[in-house]
Amino acid sequence: MREKRNLIITNVSIKRIMVHIEGENTNPDLDIKQLLLRDYMTNDRLVPTNIKWQDHHFSLSFNLMSLNNEEPMHTGDWYLIGIDQKERMHEVYPLPDLCQAMKVRTFNISNEYNAYFIKSNNNKFVAESKIDEDNASYYLKIQYNIPNPPLSSFQKWKRNMHKRKTAIRQGAYVKVFNFWKHFNKEDGNRILFTSSSRSEIGGNEKFVYDRMVERGVDKQFHIDFSYKESIKSYRSPLSKFSFARKLAMANIIICDDYQPELYLVDYLPHVDIIQLWHACGAFKTVGLERLGKPGAPAFNTRIHKCYTAMTVSSQLAADHYAEAFGIHESKILPLGVPRTDIFFSEEYRKAIIPQVEAAFPMVKEAKEVIMYAPTFRGVNAKNASFPMDMVDFDAWGEYLHESHSVMLIKMHPFVKEPLNIPEQYRDVIVDASAYREINNMLFVTDLLITDYSSVIYEFSLFHKPMLFYAFDRMKYEADRGFYEPYSEMVPGKIVRTSEELLHAIKKRDFEFEKVDPFVKKNFKFTDGKATDRIIDTLILKK
């Protein structure tokens, strides 16, 4: 054990796939320029996703799923080392109490010092905080069992005809793409707007395209479009061929959601793939943050790895998606969310309110318009549901009649079960689930009731009250998880029962003071100019 300990660790915590370490440089004469994890056997190094110094104290974070080409860290012993200005390496030593705590192993999915992600016997990832018995320095022991390689087309055919057809289709798609990408010019001007979850351009993409047309920017480019109704639908052979050609020829590819076809091919170095992510903020855990929970991807997934730039609403959201997608933070830019620009446009407000009132005539005379917009339960669209018995039509309907108010209920698109609204309350409770653009509905909403839906980010920009009817919070938190503790994150009062909900509405007990800090935390810009920033920064490259 070394006598002089220049660098010490005061705290270690592993949360999901992020390793957080705090410490101190105890030698004021030692000028440390970098801290990193190093595998001495391979000499591979993992730099922190972020590091902060305050005087001689440091705090840093590592993403276990983002080594080199943004792949999971490989099996090995990764020592935490500091590098000084003279390129000398200094190992780091935990405090004695911390050393003792880390020597106590507990075999849970995760704990303060270790993480265990087991998908199968042949596919697991384990990260354990260890103490080198020779010198008491800290290292992270990684054990990564890489999943078995994909089966051949012939093996897939023997096991499942559907999988065999999928492999043939994907193989043909990749070959077509690889043929056409040879014609992609480095100085070309082709842009492709694409989505696999809508039949025509919409959302953030439409805001960007429409603004390009308004500014005349579209004339500088050859613009293509390619859309299909949903991820579950198939393209015809001709449509698949056309999409592969457009994708291969594009110099800039613009998407705004998960799109499986994008991740199957390898792009030329000069091609930009811009992800205009549809959601605001950082709410529920997604992607690699869900390791150890249902719906988590494989450790070595290609999903989301191809993006050259991704736009989000804030630095907090950038940190969240860097962890979730296992991509470098430098690619994720808090330029804003294009579809939120409408919330700052008086012209849009004046135009859209009459349209919403035409769709829901009862809101025009209502004293208060309440929107109930819960999210779905389940892992994905295939098994999505909602416990309809938690909607107390009788109690809510009586209150709405008494207060001369109206409630619009907007179920998540994944939930297909119809709302059985009693006849006597249909004048004050409206099933608005079929109305596509929930953001337009926000313009006439006075009070939002939700649970775990990301609509809270958009609605917070109106600086109006919210209530959180979280009747199954413990179960949902265990199944889905949140990026931050739910109670510390939501900008309003949390209620558990229908009675508590009505009591809060009647008493106007919304904990409204949480809204403004929430906006400041989750939006870097609130100026309605996100679309222009994205066009100038990522398309025109000013």
In a shared domain, residues 328 and 363: no
In a shared domain, residues 230 and 98: no
Higher pLDDT, 147 or 348: 348
In a shared domain, residues 91 and 217: no
Whether residue 132 is contained in a domain is answered as yes
Which H or E element spans position 231? none
Average pLDDT over residues 422-442: 92
In a shared domain, residues 472 and 455: yes
Whether residue 344 is contained in a domain is answered as no
CA distance 36 to 20: 12
Average pLDDT over residues 294-304: 85
Closest CA to 319 of 296, 291, 293, 285: 285
CA distance 312 to 314: 6
Residue that finishes a domain, picked among 107, 123, 145 = 145
Q: How many domains does the chain have?
A: 3
In a shared domain, residues 250 and 300: yes
Q: What is the mean pLDDT of the chain?
A: 89
Radius of gyration of the chain (CA): 26
Whether residue 486 is contained in a domain is answered as yes
Number of H helices, E strands in the chain: 15, 24
Domain range holding 267? 153-336+529-539
Which range of 151-155, 494-498, 522-526 scores highest in mean pLDDT? It is: 522-526
pLDDT at 496: 84
| Residue 144 DSSP SS3 | strand
Average pLDDT over residues 282-311: 86
Residue that finishes a domain, picked among 96, 122, 145 = 145
pLDDT class of 337 with cuts at 50, 70, 90 = very high
Closest CA to 508 of 450, 464, 461, 445: 464
Average pLDDT over residues 99-103: 81
pLDDT class of 104 with cuts at 50, 70, 90 = low
pLDDT class of 289 with cuts at 50, 70, 90 = confident
Whether residue 207 is contained in a domain is answered as yes
pLDDT class of 478 with cuts at 50, 70, 90 = low
Residue 481 has pLDDT above 90, yes or no: no
Give Dmax (Cα) for the chain. 81
| Domain CATH number, residue 296 | 3.40.50.11820
pLDDT at 97: 87
Average pLDDT over residues 181-202: 93
Burial class (CB in 10 A: 0-12, 13-18, 19+), 490: buried
pLDDT at 12: 94
CA distance 539 to 338: 14
pTM, to two decimals: 0.78
Which range of 304-313, 379-388, 416-425 scores highest in mean pLDDT? It is: 304-313
Whether residue 284 is contained in a domain is answered as yes
pLDDT at 421: 93
- Which segment of 112-116, 339-343, 358-362, 370-374 scores lowest on mean pLDDT? 112-116
Task: Give 24-52 pLDDT, tens digit per residue.
Answer: 999 988 899 999 999 877 778 999 999 99
Q: φ, ψ for residue 477 (rounded to 5)?
A: -65, -40
pLDDT at 473: 82
pLDDT class of 68 with cuts at 50, 70, 90 = confident
Residue 150 has pLDDT above 90, yes or no: no
In a shared domain, residues 513 and 419: yes
In a shared domain, residues 189 and 139: no
| Domain CATH number, residue 41 | 2.60.40
Whether residue 221 is contained in a domain is answered as yes
pLDDT at 217: 95
- Which segment of 97-111, 258-272, 401-415, 479-493 scores lowest on mean pLDDT? 97-111
What is the total residue count of the chain?
A: 542
Residue 152 has pLDDT above 80, yes or no: no
Higher pLDDT, 169 or 293: 169
Which range of 228-237, 300-309, 479-488 scores highest in mean pLDDT? It is: 300-309
pLDDT at 2: 40
In a shared domain, residues 412 and 289: no
Residue 167 has pLDDT above 60, yes or no: yes
In a shared domain, residues 377 and 453: yes
Q: φ, ψ for residue 324 (rounded to 5)?
A: -65, -40
In a shared domain, residues 411 and 501: yes
Three-state secondary structure of 28-96: CCCCEEEEEEEECCCCCEECCCEEEEECCEEEEEEECCCECCCECCCCEEEEEEEEECCCCEEECEECH
pLDDT class of 4 with cuts at 50, 70, 90 = low
pLDDT at 414: 84
Task: Print burial letters for 411-442: b (CB count within 10 Å at least 16), e (below 16).
Answer: bbebbeeebebeeebeebbbebbeeeebbbbb
Average pLDDT over residues 477-500: 85
Extended strands (E) in 327-446? 332-333, 368-372, 405-409, 429-431
pLDDT at 109: 47
pLDDT at 3: 45
Is there a contact between 21 and 59 (Cβ–Cβ < 8 Å)? yes
In a shared domain, residues 507 and 366: yes
Residue that finishes a domain, picked among 127, 145, 163 = 145
Whether residue 2 is contained in a domain is answered as no
pLDDT at 73: 93
Taking each helix axis from N to C terminus, what angle separates 315-325 and 515-522, rounded to the nearest 10 degrees?
60
Q: Which residues contact 206 (CB under 8 A, 6 or more apart)?
A: none
Whether residue 347 is contained in a domain is answered as no
pLDDT class of 465 with cuts at 50, 70, 90 = very high
- DSSP designation for 109: S
pLDDT class of 1 with cuts at 50, 70, 90 = very low
Residue 134 has pLDDT above 70, yes or no: no
Average pLDDT over residues 175-188: 95
In a shared domain, residues 303 and 367: no
